[in-house]
Structure 1
Amino acid sequence: MEDAYVVMLVALFALAVTDLVVGVSNDAINFLNSAIGSKAISMRNILIVASIGVGVGAVFSSGLMEVARKGIFVPGEFYFEEIMIIFMAVMITDVLLLDFFNSMGLPTSTTVSIVFELLGAAVSIAVIKTYGETGDLSMLYNYINTEKATEIVVGILMAVVIAFIVGAIVQYCSRLVFSFQYEEKIKYIGAIFGGLSLTSILYFILIKGLKSVSFISDEFVAFVNGNTLLIIAIALVFFTLLSQLLMSVFKVNILKAIIVVGTFALALAFAGNDLVNFIGVPIAAWQSFELWQSAHAATGAMPSEFLMTGLAGEVPSPTLLLVLAGGVMVATIWFSAKARSVVETGVNLSRQGDGAERFEPNIVSRSIVRYSIFFGNMVSAVTPGRVRNYVEDKFKKPEYLLKSRRKDMPAFDMVRAAVNLVVASILISIGTNYKLPLSTTYVTFMVAMGTSLADRAWDRESAVYRVAGVVNVIGGWFVTAIVAFVAAASFAAVIYFGGVVAISILIGLAIVLITRSAFIHKRKEKEKAEKVPFDPTEIVSIQGIVQETSKNISSIIKGVNNMYSKTVDNLGYHDRGKLKKNKKAIKKLEKEIDELKSNVFYFIKSVDDSNLDSSKFYILNLDYLQDMVQSIGFITRNSYNHVNNNHKNLKFNQVKDLKKIDEKLQVLFDDIQDLFENQAFEEISKIVDEKQQLMEDVSILIENQIERIRTSETSPKNAQLYFGLLLETKDLISSTMGLLQLFEEFHVQMKKLL
């Protein structure tokens, strides 16, 4: 019997290591997004600062696992056997849930997930106990700490709203002071800003970061709490003078210093306080096992008879485990690709420039933006003209933001990055001081969104997409709570009735899903790495324009070629599943075209005055590529709809004819792809001359189908689909040849100029 629980403990600690990896991958956004987005320091130095903060926070944390042991449920109401079931269900759920959010690239809260998982699993076991024993659920509240759970939910909702509003107000005021051309003003008021910022971060470290450090005495904590105002005043004077010294003598950019210190502070607090979310449950299980083992040796108590009243006390975690956990966290920060995906979501939603947006608008985002514009117009109407002009001057963006889409550009400037870190630090400090349950993820993310709004990063061009992103992320937070509760409750019930077999199946399922997720994410990252970001500074010359358009044409031709062949093959086999995949895959080509179209503005802005004719060529080039994608999109979607509606299969001769066209198109597209990849533009005329035969082949098939209808065709839906495919194939060939002729004319013209 004892061996079975030892195996469960081993499984729990193995899950804890996995949970550390997936958890840190998600919470990395807490302390990396401002530094990464502003590019204040190199990525390597950002990771070094974060690693030091995480390491210090983990090593010196006392790690009192209150939430895992007694914060959500009443341990004295559960037997050891039931407690182990609860902990096992929680860990399996947490690993799967956080890995899912990492794969989606969405930030969520490890605090919320662990709380609602504990709540769900405890409620599930409590329901089984009370209903099984008495058939009455009225005593369920005796098992659950409802007051604490309610406090956490309310605290999180308040933190989301307050963080957004405060972040917006502070950033608005900061921008009025510094404007976007802050380089000159920072020389005069940078010391005061540095003093205020560094003092706030120090207060944050003392109140939040070091509150659980094991070697800090109670006397020191009491001294800090009793002399807070004096400490702040002294620190303000000291850091103001230090900031001036760093700026004047050592020529240090004080904003960079604030960002570095702020990143360290958030990393310290994250590791020192959120570590319990990852290893609290297995450590609580270990402590439970030791309590039962002692009782069993003394009295022979069985797992189903020993109540876990002993978990109600305060038991610090072993220092060695905290050190090991800190090491795993540091390694994850350096090597986790999913951590970078989560960070990118926050950075992209708060970036200053516009461009390709990740999230699609929805009815909520459109309504919010529409009424916000209406409210803004009302405020503007009653604001004096002199005040409006002053504000507009302060928020006037630098010219480079309007012209450039360089891939190495910061997402936002260092003023906003510093405000993000300082405001988040202050809010978390205040919440901790008043013992309010806060999620560092939620506070940091919402502050960043508030500062983005105030900084006019969400303008009329991007607001509806950014708001949709924020709505999706916030919606994901509520989904976290609901899914965590339901999944943990379900797993607990399965383990309760299924025993060791159920545990083995669930752990196996977790391994399979996480492994599959890792492979999928790796494939997506590889595809992303192969796609070179648009940079107008690299295509201002004729050679650059030729290279950019050649790359675009080759990529689209390759996608169209693959999609046409797959659609014809799958239509011939009447394979609904694969046609559905084709229909989804076509969106990738359409998105690629949309991204190219979104870059036209920056291309025209960046091109040399001597190459203005190339702008027209670039636009017409995109027009032909869009026509090609629209044609293949029609072919793919209509083929799927035909099969999905259970219409008759195309006849053998029809499929055979389409396959012949497909084979000829493959040869044509392969030649075009090779032509542009090798930039062998002299071959264009040869390919164009061959297109007439292919067009005639399609025309002959159309005539043959007309004859079939008059003699043997009995299915109007088949005829409709077949005609549609042939006509769109004809349009596809025509667009392809138009593109080649356009490129040939441009190439000849440019050769004359050179």
Structure 2
Amino acid sequence: METTYIILIVLLFVLAFADIIVGVSNDAVNFLNSAIGSKAVPMRTILIVAGLGVLVGAIFSSGLMEVARKGIFNPELFYFDEIIIIFLAVLLTDILLLDFFNSIGIPTSTTVSVVFELLGAAVAISILKIYESDNTLSNLESFINVEKASEISLGILLSVFIAFTVGAIVQFVSRLLFSFDYSHKLKHIGGIFGGVSLAAITYFILIKGTNSISFLDENFVNFVLQNKFFIIGISFLFWTFISLLLIHVFHCHILKVIVVIGTFALALAFAGNDLVNFIGVSIAAWQSFLLWQEAFMASGVLPSEFLMDGLAGEVQTPTYLLMIAGGIMVVTLWFSSKAQYVVQTGVNLGRQGEGAERFKPNLLSRTAVRYSVFVGQTFSQLLSEPIQEKINSRFSFPDKALKYQKSVAKPAFDLLRASVNLVLASILISIATNFTLPLSTTYVTFMVAMGTSFGDRAWGRESAVYRVAGVFNVIGSWIATAAIAFVAAGILAVIIWYGSYYAITILVVLALASVIRSAVRHSKKVKSEKNKKKFNRTDIITINEITTESSQNIIQVIRGINDLLLEVVNNLGYHDLSRFKKSLKKQSELEFEIDELKDNVFYYIKSLEDTNVEASKFYVLTLDHLQDMVQSIAYITRSSHKHVSNNHKNLKFNQIRDLKNVQRSLDEVYSEVIEAFDNQDFDEIKKLINKENTLLDKISALLQKQIERIRETENSPKNSKLYFGVLLETKNLTKATIAMLELFQEYYEEAKQEF
């Protein structure tokens, strides 16, 4: 029996380490967004600073493990075997839930997930206990720490609105004070700004430390807590002096210093506050095992008879476990592609100016933007025109003021906003910690970043509806996190309760298989995105680059069309509806790719060399022909799917054979087109156009042949409609290909003459 529980404890720690990896991948957004988005320092430096913060913060976690043991439920009412079931259900759910959000690139809260998983599993086991003892559900409240759970939920909810509002106001005032051309002002008031910012961050670090480190001298802790304003004042004077020294003597950019130190502070807070979410459950399980083992050795008490009232006391966590966990966190930061994917969500939603938008607008975002514009216009009417012009001038965004080079990718936002993000998040978390208010560091840092984006007018009329939709999607995912965590953990707890070790084995295997499958799919997705990566839209684009870029677009689209047409013709032969699902998915990906390319036309034209006006026209027309080609294959795919879905008669053997012949002919031409464009061998274009024209003649002959069939033997109008539709759209597809090749030939000949 003892050996069985030892195995379960080892399993819980293995799951905890897996939870650290998926958890850090999600929470990296907390402290990396500002430094990465502003490009304050190189990426390697950012990761080194964040890694040091995580390692120091891991030690700070010692006093924060109480939530897993007694914060959500009352352990003295549960037996040891029931506690283990709760903890297993929590960790399994947490791994699957966080990995899912990582895969879709949405930052969620590990605090919320673990709290509601503990709540869901504890409620499920409590109901089972009540059911077996023939008690009523009114006794459920005695098992659950309802007050603490409600306090955590309310605190987290309030922090979302407070963080956004304060972020918007502070950033608006900061921009009015500094504008985007802040380099001269920093020489005069940068010392004070640095003093305020760094003093706030220092106080934040001290507050987190004194509330968490168990080995600090009690007198020192009391001194910090009783002399807060004195410490802030001294810290302000010290950091103001240091800031002035850095600005005027060492000529350092004070905002970069603030960003680096702020990143360290938030990384420290993340590890100190959120490490409990990853290993707190496993450590609580281990401590539970030690308590039961001691009682078992003394009296032989069974796990089902040993109440866990010992968890209600104070139990310290071994420092070496915290350091191991911190080390895993740091390694994950460096190597997790999912962490980078989640970080990009926050950076893109907060970036200054336009660009490719990830989220699609919805009714809620459209309504919010529409009313916000109305309120903004109403408020503007209350101000005189000179005041409005003065305010607008502070928000002008000259690249020269920020010294951005045209040939280098711009940061998503400037150092001033990055500094405000970090300082404000530190202050809000410090205040909450000081008043022992529960919050989610993810929610605070993310909503501060969104608030400063809004206050900085980063959400213009061109992008607001997409950014607001993104924020609503993220907030919606937070609500979903709580609901899914509660329900899923409860279900898993019930399964383990009835299925015992068999259920545990199956669930662990399924969880690990799911994570591995997710990792493989994400790896393929990252690889695919790298293959599709285009030139940076902020770089200067030359004639050679536009030719290469267009060639790659043509290769990718033609290859996708060619593969899709082969699938559709084969699927029509099989008349199998399930085979069309992949085809429809591929078609959607092709359409999305073309839409993305057309969305970026503005930025291409904007970044072209001044002498390359004709190149922009060529690029636009090329995309137009590619879109025509994609629309043709889209019609073929959807009409074929509709025919099979409606269970109409199969196409006849002769019709399938004809379509296969056309597909093979097109495949031969497309293979040569791909080879020509891949090798930049444009002298072959004329020969390719002749082959395409030959294919047009073949399609015309097949159309005439089908007309004769209808007059003689064909008796299915639906078959004829589909067959004609596929042939005609293949004809349109071929014509669009010819038009694209002729355009490329014309442009290539002109380019050769100019050369």
Smaller-chain TM-score range?
Answer: over 0.9
- Conserved 8 A contact 1:571-1:579: no
- Conserved 8 A contact 2:210-2:221: no
For the pair 1:2 / 2:8, whether they are aligned, the reply is no
- Conserved 8 A contact 2:539-2:607: no
Task: Return the offset for 1:210.
Answer: 4.2
Q: Helix, strand or coil for the counterpart of 1:184?
A: helix
Q: Aligned partners of 2:10 and 2:607: how far apart in 1?
A: 60
Give the aligned partner of residue 734 of structure 2.
Answer: 733
Give the aligned partner of residue 424 of structure 2.
Answer: 423
Q: How does 1:161-560 map to 2 (within 5 A)?
A: 161-399=161-399, 408-536=409-537, 540-560=541-561
Task: Return the offset for 1:79.
Answer: 0.7
Give the aligned partner of residue 586 of structure 1.
Answer: 587
Q: Helix, strand or coil for the counterpart of 1:108?
A: coil
- Conserved 8 A contact 1:407-1:533: no
- Conserved 8 A contact 1:126-1:140: yes
Task: Return the offset for 1:344.
Answer: 0.7
Q: Aligned partners of 1:318 and 1:745: how far apart in 2?
A: 73
Q: How does 1:624-639 map to 2 (within 5 A)?
A: 624-639=625-640
- Conserved 8 A contact 1:420-1:448: yes
Q: Aligned partners of 2:693 and 2:513: how far apart in 1?
A: 53
Task: Return the offset for 1:218.
Answer: 2.4
| Aligned-residue identity in percent | 59
- Conserved 8 A contact 2:353-2:458: yes
Q: Deviations over 1:551-581 (max 9, x none)?
A: 2211211111111111111222122222111
- Conserved 8 A contact 2:406-2:540: no
Q: Aligned partners of 1:598 and 1:143: how far apart in 2?
A: 55
| CA separation of 1:60 and 1:538: change in aligned 2, threshold 3 A | closer
Q: Helix, strand or coil for the counterpart of 1:457?
A: coil
Q: Deviations over 1:528-569 (max 9, x none)?
A: 222233335666432222222112211211111111111111
Give the aligned partner of residue 712 of structure 1.
Answer: 713
Counterpart residue identity of residue 325, structure 2: A
Give the aligned partner of residue 110 of structure 1.
Answer: 110
Across the aligned residues of Structure 1 and Structure 2, the Cα RMSD in angstroms comes to 1.6
| CA separation of 1:747 and 1:76: change in aligned 2, threshold 3 A | same
| CA separation of 1:643 and 1:407: change in aligned 2, threshold 3 A | farther
Q: Aligned partners of 2:395 and 2:64: how far apart in 1?
A: 47
Q: Helix, strand or coil for the counterpart of 2:303?
A: coil
TM-score normalised per structure 2:
0.98
Give the aligned partner of residue 97 of structure 1.
Answer: 97
For the pair 1:157 / 2:157, whether they are aligned, the reply is yes
Q: Which consecutive unaligned segments of at least 5 residues does structure 2 have?
A: none
Task: Return the offset for 1:204.
Answer: 0.8
Task: Return the offset for 1:691.
Answer: 1.9
Task: Return the offset for 1:224.
Answer: 1.2
Counterpart residue identity of residue 189, structure 1: I
Q: Aligned partners of 1:266 and 1:537: how far apart in 2?
A: 31
> Which is further off, 438-447 or 701-710?
701-710
Q: Aligned partners of 1:265 and 1:156: how far apart in 2?
A: 21
Task: Return the offset for 1:307.
Answer: 0.8
Q: Helix, strand or coil for the counterpart of 1:396?
A: coil
Q: Deviations over 1:660-698 (max 9, x none)?
A: 000001011111111111111111111112222211111
| CA separation of 1:64 and 1:197: change in aligned 2, threshold 3 A | closer
Q: Aligned partners of 2:403 and 2:626: how far apart in 1?
A: 26
Task: Return the offset for 1:603.
Answer: 2.3
Task: Return the offset for 1:604.
Answer: 2.1
Aligned length: 754
Counterpart residue identity of residue 129, structure 1: K
Q: Aligned partners of 1:154 and 1:538: how far apart in 2?
A: 46
Q: Aligned partners of 1:404 and 1:616: how far apart in 2?
A: 25
- Conserved 8 A contact 1:23-1:278: yes
Give the aligned partner of residue 744 of structure 2.
Answer: 743
Q: Deviations over 1:222-247 (max 9, x none)?
A: 21121111111111111111101001
Q: Aligned partners of 2:643 and 2:209: how far apart in 1?
A: 62
Q: Helix, strand or coil for the counterpart of 1:81?
A: helix
Give the aligned partner of residue 683 of structure 1.
Answer: 684
Q: Aligned partners of 2:301 and 2:159: how far apart in 1?
A: 45
Q: How does 1:647-666 map to 2 (within 5 A)?
A: 647-666=648-667
> Which is further off, 734-743 or 542-551?
542-551
Task: Return the offset for 1:707.
Answer: 2.2
Q: Deviations over 1:121-165 (max 9, x none)?
A: 000000001012115211111100011111111111100000000
Q: Aligned partners of 1:379 and 1:187: how far apart in 2?
A: 34
Task: Return the offset for 1:348.
Answer: 0.8
> Which is further off, 239-248 or 294-303?
294-303
Q: Which consecutive unaligned segments of at least 5 residues does structure 1 have?
A: none
Q: Aligned partners of 1:272 and 1:691: how far apart in 2?
A: 65
Q: Helix, strand or coil for the counterpart of 2:251?
A: coil
Counterpart residue identity of residue 505, structure 1: I
Task: Return the offset for 1:404.
Answer: 9.1
Give the aligned partner of residue 66 of structure 2.
Answer: 66
Q: Helix, strand or coil for the counterpart of 2:439?
A: coil
Q: Aligned partners of 1:568 and 1:185: how far apart in 2?
A: 67
> Which is further off, 234-243 or 403-412?
403-412
Task: Return the offset for 1:705.
Answer: 1.8
Give the aligned partner of residue 37 of structure 1.
Answer: 37
- Conserved 8 A contact 1:120-1:489: yes
- Conserved 8 A contact 1:63-1:276: no
Q: Helix, strand or coil for the counterpart of 2:611?
A: helix
Counterpart residue identity of residue 391, structure 2: V
Counterpart residue identity of residue 202, structure 2: L
Q: Deviations over 1:694-722 (max 9, x none)?
A: 11111122122222222322322222211
For the pair 1:14 / 2:14, whether they are aligned, the reply is yes
Q: Deviations over 1:725-746 (max 9, x none)?
A: 1111111000000000011111
Q: Helix, strand or coil for the counterpart of 2:358?
A: coil
Counterpart residue identity of residue 478, structure 1: I
- Conserved 8 A contact 1:116-1:481: yes
Task: Return the offset for 1:629.
Answer: 0.9
- Conserved 8 A contact 2:9-2:285: yes
| CA separation of 1:625 and 1:402: change in aligned 2, threshold 3 A | farther
Q: Aligned partners of 2:135 and 2:222: how far apart in 1?
A: 50
Q: Deviations over 1:69-93 (max 9, x none)?
A: 1000010111111111111111111
